[in-house]
Structure 1
Amino acid sequence: MSKISERFKEFLGSYIPTSSDTQDPKYPKIIDHMYANGIYSLEVNYDDIIDFDFQLATDLVNNPKRYLPEINLGLEEFCTEAHNYDGKRMEVFTVRFDNLVKCDRVDIKDIRAKHINKLIQLEGTIRFISEVKPEVREAIFECQRCREYITITQDGEILKEPIVCENPECARNGPFKLIEESSTFSDWQGVKIQEKLEKLRGGQLPRDIDCVMRGDLVEKAVAGSVVRIVGVIKIYQEKGKMGKKTTYSKIFEINNMKVLSKQPEELEADEEEEEEFLELASNPEICNMIRDSIAPAIFGALEVKEAVALMLFSGEQKILSDGTRLRGSSNILLVGNPGIAKSQVLKFVNNAAPRSIYTSGKGTSSAGLTAAVIKDELTGGFGLEAGALVIADEGIACIEENQKVLTLEGEVEIKNIKKGDLVINYNKDGTEGLHYVQKKIYKGKKEVIKVKTDNGKELIATPDHKVLTTKGWKELEKITGEELIFLKHREIWGKTKIVSKEGLGIRKVFDLSIDKEHNFIVNGLVVHNCIDEIDKMSKDDRSSVHEAMEQQSYHSSLELIINDKREKIGQYIDGLMEKNKDKIINGINCQILEMEEKPRIMSTDFNTISYSNITKVSRHSSPKEFIRITYSNGREITVTPEHPIYIYEKDGVATTEARRIQVGTLVPLVVKDDICKGEVTNVEKFPNETEKYVYDVTVEPYHTFIAEGVILHNTISIAKAGIIATLNARASILAAANPKRGRFDKHKPLVDQIELESTLLSRFDLIFIMTDDPNEVNDKKLANHIQKMWNNATDAINPPLDIDKLRKYIAYASKECKKVALSEEAQEKLNEYYVGLRKPSAEGEKPIPITARQLESLRRLVESRARMRLSTTANIADAERILDLYKFTMENVAKDTETGEIDIDMIMSGTPKSQRDRITVIMDIISSLDKKNNNEGAMLDEVYKDARAENISDSFTRKIIDELKQKGDVYEPRPDRLKLTLL
């Protein structure tokens, strides 16, 4: 045995922490627990190594390739001597290090050549995680000449083979055959870690690094988990078409992984801060104080600041009994002239919300939209275009301060537990585990209940704290007397029942953050810790911000015209995959291939038909059934049930799922390079009996292609494939956009002035028009404000709450007031407003001023305002203030300039009722004149003349006729004649 392994054995057997109250060595007890539970890895605090032997600690970091195997050998020898571990075991003894010193903690973006082959520590978010694969550890080869077996230990990514046969009578150089059934394998998993986004500022892009983990680390975390990893940077030479390159790619081989809490520690309020926040909340002006603390450097814009404050205190998501999810977060859009301080508001929010991203210009989209995408302080999620990572963490349940937690040293009251203590936990396989406390969290004072079990055990905790039952994790208040609860009594795991529940009022409560299994033992009962495991989320949450990960693809038989050659999509994509195996991106149940050479295919923007390029192809695991759709041109396509199909609706082209298509549905078809209307003549559903894959292509820029004379939708994206771990986790969006022509025109509809579709526009709860109108009084105040800032920049801005206190207050409110109810008076106020606005529309020809979507928005905002006051009940004052704010925004964005009426369709569809009425008049004129001319078409001049008689301008008539032509509702049988398409 080497000096290194001997020295580490000595450390294991004799090290006593300087802070220890006993003279017992630290690690023998832990190793005893390893033996009792069949565990083969030991976590060691790096500080302990430094304390024991500074030189050993230094050499370990600088030369892990030599030291890690020797240290692992030392652990194996120690365990074998102490407990006579089975020498035929499959597992490998591994020492896993944690808590490296500051100089060895590196941000992912700062990894450089000097870190190669060094032991370092990183923190980040798991962006992608692969399936678990077997990796050969000891490969057994058979010499094909003499049948000698040769064992080669594998320690890298590339399989090592024997050079010469070890049989001295043979001693030839092969050939050798790998005998897989005799070889030893271990678990392997690939992950991509992205740096923590709260560290990014000023539009920086997050960096990531590819990592591998082995053994008991696999499946330790899920996509979206925030982790701390310790490991070694390895490099592999890149290859090009001309040979090996001088550049190398990096892979981080993980030695240890710890799942961290997703709430930044600096946002946790202590008891003194809690008292301060409660005193602030009792101030009747607290909502105005928070408003005035938003972007204090910006003069005025009080309504905008108030809306932003409401967004930061967004309401909670609602989940109905049928699984339907109602959005709890609020979205706000700022539209205005350049230089009006829109981006300054976004940048302030980016700093006020610790888990946020700010991007501008092309960082968001070609539309020139700038966005700060934020999440509730505690839940820590954010979403930015398709593919931005979203993280959800919703645990606030807690344990009363005097309850006893089972640790390696015995039972300890939870209030006395410290970070780094070892606690006993219950593993999914029914065994006992041992894990370090990552953090103890003071949760303030909460309502608690006491439950008793039939064997005399008691637990005092908040009603929503979860305990492990035979039916999974359940909140205490929801457990019936018939359900069995897991418990540990001395050395025996068993089950018990709750026999009584009793409310005990308000008590101080705490919670612990424990990695891996996320549970610990309190008074013998298995309780859940504060981290809500992402893998427990419902299936509906596992979707990207922009699209669901659904099977939306085509049957292999679909024929495409690619580079002017007819190809079946299945054979074409299978052939590409076979030729480019090393370039395939493996997603969740799918494979994607980026196209280096971009083949041509016919595409359309529904105005013109032209060639576009295929940029990606994919194949997906096939579904259980298909939908075959036949069109009026005699062609048919076969698709998966969820696939979007283009159809005509009254407002133009839209999409619907294939399974919802009906015979007679109008669809866009292509005839001789023209787009015209056709219809669906048959829809058939049939089982999948032969197809292994379904296929798709990505066509830029319109995401359409033409096959069988039908305009088809392409659906593949990286987010859909699940390559980027995105969760639709209730993100709030604050966005700002400039008008298309530079300055906003109050006399034109909003939808005509910005590059956002009405379908997206309608998702914003509040929309503000920010203009720079000359006003002598306001201009003088603004000028004085600017001069004051420049004269004394530090003292000129003194908000009621500085940004650090505001961030903590938001986090505290989100934690303490997660569930907000509306008082009966507040609900009645909203209902009266909603019904009162809609009543004139129901009785006559008035436009619709509000829909159920806006009522939901109002409800969300009212809850947010209550949360600003640290109240779990929204009162009538909250409802009245939100209604005032809503009226202010609707006057600016939804008023029909022609009628002066509020018309929600100004936002929802971009076409107000007054305009729809005129379109109907023009279509009636065309129809009437067509009949008058013996169905030979309406004369164009006569259409203009009759439209003028109805007070419709020539410019509007010309615009509507052009739009009707594009939609296929009107066509010209000959020049200067118009006819309606027969429906």
Structure 2
Amino acid sequence: MELDKLAYDFLMTEKCYKLIQKAVMEGRLSVTVDFDDIDRYDPFLSGQLLESPDMVLKSFNKAISEIEKDANIKARIRGLPESRQIRIRNLRSEHVGKFSCIDCVIKSASEVKPQIRQGIFECPECASTITVDQDSNLLQKPSFCTSCGRRGDFPMKDKKMMDTRWLGAIEPFELTTGEQPGEIPVFMTDDLTIPRMQKKTDPGNRIKITGIMKEIPKWIKGKLSTKLDIYIEANHAEPSDTELDEIEISQQDEEQIIEFSKDKNIFKKLVASIAPGIYGHDEIKESLVLQMFGGVPHVLPDGSRIRDNIHVLITGDPGVGKSQLLKLIMSIVPRGKYVSGKGASGSGLTATVVKNEVLGGWVLEAGAMVLANKSIISIDEFDKMTKDDQIAMHEAMSIGTVSIAKASIVATLPAQTSVLAGANPKRGRFDPYIPVPEQLDIPETLLSRFDLKFALRDIPSRSQDELLAHHIIKSRSSPEDITPVISPALLRKYISYSRRIDKMVLTPEAAERLKNFYVDMRNRYANEEVPTIAITLRQYEALIRLAEASAKIRLDDKVMMEDAEKAIYLMKYSLSQLGMDPETGKIDIDRIESGVTASQRSKIRIAIEIIETLEKELGKEVPIEDVKAEAENRGLGNIDEILEKLKNEGMIYEPRSGFIRKL
């Protein structure tokens, strides 16, 4: 047969023969051939490969078995021409049976399972064996004996197995901004399922898959339907050449980006390009710019990783533009995802194991945080999520991974994702006199993982209200006047280009400035009667991330003094908004993260002392009025709020009306 000879002659060329020999020596199950090499050798052979891949691949595999008789090696093809690199949404019936290449993100994956590749049956009449290739999900048996012609049932004597795995592939998000990404099942076999490849094809990874589009018959009430499902039978898979950090950037784009980076006012221009239709909130927009650029990951000698993702929480009054900001950021950043807390579950954000018959039983399905790996996820109505769903985000926000162990599937998925969350206060409007944890339905442990926290306030001010009203009128009468200084498309490329900086060092001056700020803030109230902690190590690490992001805007791999000052300014702004204790006028980090300020802690200690003293005098059950009277004598004033806190924390309870007892 002409194809068999062409395939054999091609594989006997010096380059291919060496590849086969190397595969045999290394014990590999496949040899990868470049399509361009086939095309240069014989355009007819390459054309047949594109149009009739099943037939040509059989010829290649047959030729390899003739060259190396004891080897079980398959041919895998990479580098298809651009005409065969097709978006998932554009796959049609004309592509069935043809060779195609898709660029995709893995959304879900089944377990690796064995499947019969070839069944060997024995004839009860003449004892001869009949080999039947298994090309479908149903076991195919011979209808008659090829030796004696007997018809009937034939028992299986032996079988050849292969490992298989089903994937759910979707289009990359930068290709589908504002669209529903296309999705298709992918069938992987043999060495495409080995542990090394399995890790590369786990949910959340982006890969290029070369394969043959095939159809799956659909059954309706036991009868074959005229409608068919499609899937890709993978021949080759590799990590995508175009990582999400590497959007295509032309020479002209690069020159423009470098020119921007040298502009002394670039930071102001970037801020002006973020939601220009929303007036004010410059500090918050500055923080969002730094979040989009992000810091630089650091891996310590022991293998532990310090995250580079910047997490931002925005709360505040209704109608101030929180949701708009969250959505607009997603229209800029590559691979960004927007979800609403009302409709998001913990498994939908992180990962879950679901039953999927098309993909083969239990499958691991990536959530939004995994799919937005190395990008940003905006979560609106963050406070509307259940506590369990919020807690499911802990691991992803702190160390950038999602671990799951369900239905015999144990996996760790990448989720190096920055979180931009919007939340509404319980009482409708933000109250600066009430600690943050009491106003937001967010666990304290999760609150502490946000690097910056802001409150958007709607406070009447004649001058500000006039400016806001003028801006709204201007946006309607002359929309061209509020056009972004840097277009979203170019800003997306700018962010992508900056991610090429993968190492960063702090100059001695910047390092000293950040250290001094941290130490001074820590010790500002250390010698007072009621010591207050203004800042913790988490804020110090956040300062470094913010400073690194500022340096990346300048495309610099060194953090300078100006970057440190920018980070300090935003941290001070965040702390002053939510961390100011109205009783003392001091910044208290516990007011943001635990809801109990230093002054309240002092009152709590005194209240407990009062209860313990009265217990010794009056017995286990203490009258509340006596506690209040003693508190008044000690200068605590009204301690109703303190007693309520102690009840909520399970330290005291009311055994009967008007009395309290310590647990």
TM-score with structure 2 setting the length: 0.80
Q: Indicate whether 1:760 and 2:446 are aligned.
A: yes
Q: Choose the corresponding residue for 1:746, options 432, 439, 457.
A: 432
Listed one character per residue, the Cα deviations across residues 277-311 of structure 1 (whole Å, up to 9, x for unaligned) are 34333332222222222222222211111111111
Structure 2 stretches lacking a partner, 5+ long: 24-29, 350-364, 376-394
Match of 1:353 among 319, 322, 333: 333
The residue aligned with 2:35 is 44
Deviations 1:593-642 (A, max 9, x none): xxxxxxxxxxxxxxxxxxxxxxxxxxx6xxxxxxxxxxxxxxxxxxxxxx
Residue pair 2:38, 2:46 contacting (<8 A) in 1 also: no
Kept in 2, the 8 Å contact 1:143–1:177? The answer is no
After superposition, the Cα gap between the structure-2 partners of 1:29 and 1:302, relative to the gap in structure 1 and judged at 3 Å, is same
Question: Are 2:526 and 2:532, in contact at CA under 8 Å, matched by a contact in 1?
Answer: no
* Mapping 1:556-571, distance limit 5 Å: none
What SS is found at the alignment partner of 1:277? helix
Q: Is the 8 A contact 1:200 1:357 kept in 2?
A: no
**Alignment of 1:90 onto 2:69:** no
The alpha-carbon distance between structure 1 residues 69 and 317, as it changes in their structure 2 partners (threshold 3 A), is closer
Q: Which residue does the alignment assign to 2:152?
A: 173
| Aligned equivalents of 2:105, 2:481: Cα separation in 1 | 39
Alignment of 1:565-964 (within 5 A): 592=407, 721-722=410-411, 726-729=413-416, 731-793=417-479, 795-815=480-500, 817-844=501-528, 845-933=530-618, 935-949=619-633, 950-953=635-638, 955-957=640-642, 959-964=644-649
**Separation (CA, whole Å) in 2 of partners of 1:860 and 1:264:** 21
Of 248, 265, 279, the residue aligned with 2:259 is: 279
**Which amino acid in the other structure matches residue 235 of structure 1?**
I
Q: Determine the structure 2 residue equivalent to 1:331.
A: 311
CA distance in 2 between counterparts of 1:266 and 1:974 reads: 67
Contact residue 9 and residue 75 of structure 1 kept, 8 A: no
Greater percentage in helix:
2
Report the equivalent of 2:247: 267
Between the aligned partners of 1:175 and 1:384, the Cα distance in structure 2 is 44
Residue type matched to 2:67 in 1? Y
- Letter matched to residue 336 of structure 2: S
Q: Secondary structure at the match of 1:101?
A: helix
Partner residue in 2 for 1:141: 121
| Contact 1:819/1:872 (<8 A) preserved | yes
Conservation of the 8 A alpha-carbon contact between 1:123 and 1:228: yes
- What SS is found at the alignment partner of 1:362? coil
What is the CA deviation profile of residues 409-431 of structure 1, one whole-angstrom value per residue up to 9, with x for unaligned ones?
xxxxxxxxxxxxxxxxxxxxxxx
Measure, in 1, the Cα distance between the counterparts of 2:280 and 2:372: 33
Partners in 1 of 2:245 and 2:14 — Cα distance?
31
Q: What's the counterpart of residue 210 of structure 1? A: 185
Could you say what secondary structure the match of 1:158 adopts?
coil
Letter of the 2:35 partner, please give it: V
Task: Name the SS of the counterpart of 2:338 in structure 1.
Answer: strand
Look up the match of 1:68: 53
C-alpha distance in 1 between matches for 2:129 and 2:329 = 65
In the alignment, the residues of structure 2 paired with residue 901 and residue 244 of structure 1 have an alpha-carbon distance, to the nearest angstrom, of: 75
The answer to whether residue 206 in structure 2 is matched with residue 225 in structure 1 is yes
Contact 1:386 1:544 in 2 (8 A): no
Question: Contact 1:866–1:878 at 8 Å: present in 2 too?
Answer: yes
Q: 2 CA distance for matches of 1:101 and 1:336?
A: 51
Aligned to 1:196: 172
Give, in angstroms, the shift of residue 826 of structure 1: 1.9
Q: Secondary structure at the match of 1:736?
A: strand
Structure 1 residue 124 displacement after superposition: 0.8
Cα RMSD (Å): 4.0
Q: Which amino acid aligns with 1:137?
A: R
Stretch moving more, 768-777 or 142-151: 142-151
Distance 1:955 1:776, change over 3 A: same
Aligned with 1:977 (options 629, 635, 659): 659
Is contact 2:99-2:210 (8 Å) kept?
no
Could you say what secondary structure the match of 2:320 adopts?
coil
- List aligned pairs for 1:116-155, cutoff 5 A: 120-129=100-109, 134-144=114-124, 147-155=127-135
CA contact (8 A) 2:401 2:414 kept: no
1:41-81 Cα shifts (integer Å, max 9, x gaps): 645369959x9579976x965xxxxx43433345467x48x
* 8 Å Cα contact 1:927/1:938 also seen in 2: no
The answer to whether the Cα contact below 8 Å between 1:226 and 1:262 also exists between their aligned partners in 2 is no
Sort the Cα spacing of 1:305 and 1:41 in 2 relative to 1 into closer, same or farther, 3 A. closer
Change (3 A) 1:387 1:801: closer
Aligned CA distance change for structure 1 residues 546 and 147 (closer, same or farther; 3 Å): farther
Pairwise CA distance, 1:821: 1.9
Distance change (3 Å), C-alpha of 1:166 and 1:359: same
* Cα pair 1:11 1:52 within 8 Å, conserved: no
Distance 1:803 1:47 in 2: 42
Partner SS for 1:841: coil
Distance in 1 (alpha carbons) for counterparts of 2:12 and 2:467: 69
Mapped to 2, the partners of 1:297 and 1:26 lie a distance apart of 62
> How many residue pairs align between the two structures?
612
How has the CA–CA distance of structure 1 residues 974 and 349 changed in structure 2, closer, same or farther, with 3 Å as cutoff? closer
- Partner Cα separation in structure 2 for residue 547 and residue 832 of structure 1: 27
- Gaps (5+ residues) in structure 1? 14-24, 62-66, 370-382, 394-542, 552-586, 593-619, 621-717
Using the alignment, how far apart are the partners of 2:623 and 2:108 within structure 1? 62
Shift of 1:175: 4.9
Q: Contact 1:143 / 1:176 at 8 angstroms: preserved in 2? A: yes
* SS of the residue 2:547 aligns to: helix
Alignment of 1:320-719 (within 5 A): 320-364=300-344, 388-389=370-371, 391=373, 592=407
2:81 aligned partner: 99
Instruction: Work out the CA distance in 1 between the residues paired with 2:46 and 2:553.
Output: 54
Determine if contact 2:337/2:372 at 8 Å carries over to the other structure. no
CA distance in 2, matches of 1:386, 1:358: 9
Percent identity (aligned) = 29
Residue by residue over 1:210-264, the C-alpha shift from the partner in whole angstroms, topping out at 9 and shown as x without a partner, is 321234544454421322433213214469xx86796876543223434312435
| 2:390 corresponding residue in structure 1 | none
Aligned to 2:26: none
Larger deviation, residues 904-913 vs 313-322: 313-322
1:598 matched to which residue of 2?
Answer: none
CA contact (8 A) 2:96 2:212 kept: no
Give the corresponding residue for 1:501: none
Aligned partners of 2:367 and 2:594: how far apart in 1? 22
